[in-house]
Amino acid sequence: MNAAATDVVVLRGLDINGAPPNAPGLNGIRFLAGAALHVEECLIHGSTGAAPNGNGIVFAPSGTSELYVHNSTIIRNNNGVRIQPTGSGVASVLIDNSRIDNNNLAGLKAEGTDNTGGSNTTIVNSSVSGNTNAGISILNPVGGPIIKIGAD
């Protein structure tokens, strides 16, 4: 998705299937620009394409953007949710009442590479479990932006 800076995108009630194993999907949802993305009551699964793809949701805004994931299930991808703002982009993320389980790499991965803006993620009433490499992963170079992750 590459929306205008003031656009709010709402995805509700979707079943996003990455593809069968012999033709893995790139990313379930890829957000590059816009004011906000709301993912509500969605099932996102099967995105296992080669890196840097293979994410259930890749949230990579170049400006200040918000991601809301509510009542959704994100399973069997390489990474469940990958937060990686670009340039001076700033990501504010709220994951509420959702499952990010059984992904091949990380359930939630926050990255600060190629970014100066940083991110702030809050996880509430949700599970991030059974992911092969990590439930929650932060990758940030020396001198990288501030990355905050809180769980309630």
Among 107-111, 114-118, 128-132, the range scoring the smallest mean pLDDT is: 114-118
Question: What is the rounded end-to-end Cα distance, in angstroms, of the chain?
Answer: 29
Q: Which residues contact 102 (CB under 8 A, 6 or more apart)?
A: 75, 76, 129, 130, 131
Across the chain, which distance is largest between two alpha carbons, in Å? 40
Residues paired with residue 123 on neighbouring β-strands, in sequence order: 95, 151
Work out the mean pLDDT of the chain and round it to a whole number.
92
17-39 pLDDT per residue, tens: 987 767 777 899 999 999 999 99
DSSP reduced 3-state for 137: strand
Statement: residue 130 has pLDDT above 90: yes
Confidence of residue 143 (pLDDT cuts 50, 70, 90): confident
36-90 pLDDT per residue, tens: 999 999 999 999 988 889 999 999 999 999 999 999 999 999 999 999 999 999 9
Q: What gap in Å lies between CA 13 and CA 23, rounded to an integer? A: 24
HEC secondary structure over 51-117:
CCCCEEEEECCCCEEEEEEECCEEECCCEEEEECCCECCEEEEEEECCEEECCCCEEEEEECCCECC
Statement: residue 15 has pLDDT above 90: yes
What is the side-by-side order of every strand in the sheet holding 99-101?
15-17, 43-45, 73-75, 99-101
* Predicted pLDDT of residue 33: 96
